[in-house]
Structure 1
Amino acid sequence: MDQEMNYGDDYKYIPTTSVGSGIGRELLQDLFSHTVQIVNINFVGNPDTGDFVLVDAGMPNSAEEIISVTEERFGKNSRPKAIILTHGHFDHVGAIVELVEHWEVPVYAHELEMPFLTGEKSYPEPDATVEGGMVAKMSPMFPNESINLGSHVEMLPSDGTVPHTDFKWIHTSGHTPGHVSLFREEDGALIAGDAFVTVKQESLYKVLTQEQEISGPPRYLTTDWEAAKESVIKLEALKPTIAVTGHGLPMSGDILSKSLDKLVQEFDSIAVPDFGKYVDKNTH
């Protein structure tokens, strides 16, 4: 069973850590976010019932930390019903193979993300030339080769439901072809993945200090800025009341609605870099 799963040849630990690393936050009774180095993983489900899913799978070499956080919140030997992936970039699937082996649970992702999760296709290489800061310059060291989850990964249901939760998935491409965000209408909770983030992810200083500001998807890995803009417009229209993103601190209430509105209105100047190999000049 285990032999069919593997990471790409370029898989490795990435030595970047923010001040938020290791900190968990209960945002709602059934929504818990935990920061692994510079990326957030999320648990959806009530600790009292023990029924929950994990959304995204952290940085390379973080499986032990994720298992420990899981057991701390849901009890010893607890395991999620499934792992849901917003997308398959290295910092969102970093511990996925070890977690699937440990828990023996299915993984769900969007149909268009499947080639990157089944060993068929690698992501485009990170753009070190993109305007924005030091993390972009470091990005060539980030793994981008396809991982292979074999038969352990399944397509998210076509009806928009997210297995074992009351969230719906929304296709928010741009950062990757099959990127999804998760939204719950009854309370306006949004798990945005990297469709937008609340830290300027290209800036090493801001990543390390977690200085909060709304931003588009991380620039060095975003290849379709037109789709990325459409995705942000789609999410803003939902009027979320609380949002947890792949990078940065959660946002809620007035600051969230104002920030998202600003991002939509000024997307080309806030999110789209002035230069870079994936920047279409027509977006300006």
Structure 2
Amino acid sequence: MSNKSFSRTLEPFLRHIAACNSAVLPGGRTPFFCADSQIGWVSPSTVQALETLGVRAGQKFGVSAGADLFPLSHTLCEMGLYASHHEAFDVRDDSGTVLGQVDRGAIPVLGLAAEGVHLNGLVERADGLFLWVARRSMSKRLDPGKLDHLVAGGMSAGLDPQTTVIKEAQEEAGIPAELAAKAQAVGRIHYALERPEGLRRDVLHCYDLLLPEGFVPVAEDGEVESFHLLPIREVMVLIRDTDDFKFNVNLVLIDLFIRRSLFDPADAAILRRALSGQAA
């Protein structure tokens, strides 16, 4: 493939992947521990706040036990480092063991890993493959008004990905549990980037769900302004030419385009390596 061809066909997609992998670690950050497990990366400003609280685990910044994590997150909220989401998220070590919980808003402040789900709501029609797209409410705390998946959400404390999909599908799009349970797990995407709210180190559990042609989503929880059923190639053009979608949705949709053979094999291989964090 020539450089000219590479730039013309793939650069618009690769830029979305690069944008979600912009964080350099440690990049001036300090490791944050729970007992002997490093679980996060904290910025200099957060280090200052932790120093005033005397938050150390031995000679390291952190807590001595998982039970201390949620109280710490509450204190950081009271200090004005973030606004509470009033939702607890599990904190895991590298093996996936749950160590404790924090308020969801504290996750980027402490540079913790977080998990969520993204569901491609697909409709196969005689005239091609279509995708349900949601427009986020203008009242959303993050990325108001951006385009989004039909269903997407963080994994609250005590839940697993499948349970989260079923829960979010009902709340966000009115999808009955028996239909949402048919969603197929198709992969995971990791990334790390700087955002206004802090360091995002996310793991996205990706799902596909084939929906009946007659299904029409209903916003149950007020987080979605509207739903739109679009041809998959129209969605591909939006990803290529705009920043209309919420930042991480781009990655999940690029993965969908690869799996649906919308790129030629050589381009698909390059994009697949980029999504997995390997050099293109």
Q: One fold, TM greater than 0.5? A: no
User: What is the TM-score when the length of structure 1 is the normalising length?
Assistant: 0.25
More strand by share: 2
Q: Report which of the two has the higher share of helix.
A: 2
Q: Which has the higher contact order (CA 8 A, sep 6+)?
A: 2
Using structure 2 for the length normalisation, give the TM-score: 0.25
Larger Rg: 2
